[in-house]
A and B are shown apart, each in its own frame.
Chain A
Amino acid sequence: MMNMLSINIFQNWLEQTHGIWYVLVLAGIAAIYLGFFAVAGLMLVYLERRVAGYFQLRLGPNRVGPWGLLQTIADALKLVSKEIFIPKMADKLLYKAGYYIVIIAALLALAVIPFARQIQALDFNVGLFFISAVSSVGVLGILIGAWGSRNKYSLIGAMRSGLQMISYELSAGFAIIAVVLMAGTLKMTGIVEAQKHTWFLFQGHLPAIIAFMIFLISGTAETNRVPFDLVEGESELGAGFHTEYSGMGFAFFFLAEFINMFIISALGATLFLGGWLAPFGITDGLPAQWLWGMIWFLLKVFVLIFLLMWFRWTFPRIRIDQLLTLEWKYLLPVGLVNTVIMAWIVWKDWLIHLG
């Protein structure tokens, strides 16, 4: 009853301030957004499997639909039809809350990613801060999901996840700060616009390249991918934190992982590779600028995603203490020094401006 009431109040407030149509349009946009990312996540899974296939001298999925494009849809259907299994000794509330938190955190971060000029759900002045805040919520879902499922392997995985997330947020933050120093704003569109003439990767030359590498490494770590997939570590922990999940619970975790990969790549493309801007402005005069923007943006994102996949299918997994050594002894000091150098460069205006 209380819930109903509070929802009503919220609804009334929305209707009074903005009108019913505004609410409906918002809801429609949200639905399109979610649908788009569900499909995009599935396509990313397909892409991953294809790329893995070619790396491993295989073909990858090629039977369902043209070029096997429908393979992951078929897999998703299979997962939906599976029995939802809750372990007898599990803490049911936490067990179920786990995957919702993970998927919601992943989807929330999508809100501030600019796909093209004007194509962005939310553009507010602390967009970058929002992303780094929201993306660290996901680990909470992993932790309580693993705790709730009462499995020692899950718990080991979740503990590793917490450790990893706390550590690597720092160096990712320093890499982002290097960009913020150049852009002078936390607003996502502002950052892209600041790269009008030169991408930050080239504008900030050496420190920006170092920041980009740190960002890629800590981004890989935050998405729990090889070489930092200790959280799942299938040869050590079975499946890590989602050992006990089946059906859609597992699918949510899986989808969240891929959406997180998309977010990290999108963030990298926005911060370092000029977001939706065309290289050298080659498509600037053409009509349908929003479409070109999206094409360039997605292209850059896919290059980064491919890089992450290349890492994944080449490297062995790192050990937990080496993970911390890498962060605290290498990435963090380098990131700190790099930030100082970057500040110096910005202060002296030694940035490279082409055009």
Chain B
Amino acid sequence: MTAEELKNYLQTWDDSLEFIEEIPEDVALFAALEDVPSEWLNVEVPLSHFKGIMRHLKADEKTSFDYLFNMTGMDWGQELGVIYHLESTRHGHILVVRVRTADRENPEIPTVEDIWKTAHLHEREIFDLLGIRFTGHSNLKRIFLTPDFQGHPLRKDYEDDYMILRK
């Protein structure tokens, strides 16, 4: 499917999914991000229904996103979040899903490890570098840094005494 078709198809989900009634009126299931110039469809999903939507994105025959080829942990200054790049090896289309949380102290996002196994190490990496806790992850430990490391270096407010200042 092309990005346009994908967008139209995803919008039909709004009234076909069983978990849809839990959504308040003012929250869109998929907020298509028009302002991001990209060759792929960018959508944002609410954190509250994130897991169900992700599971459905893989399970649905029409979309069948089975290949999570990139997971990027993001720090947007105020909010933390994750960008998922999904591809369907069957249909060949690509969807960029993002989810964000405003809680900087204890950010929590449901894990997708049980949907795409590749998320196992990627989520550990994001936890390590950005401090986002993935609830339900089987072994959420620091992966690159030592267990006693303080802070999460990829956050924008992280400060390191040893960092070389640039002119």
Is there any pair of Cβ atoms, one from A and one from B, under 8 angstroms apart in the complex? no
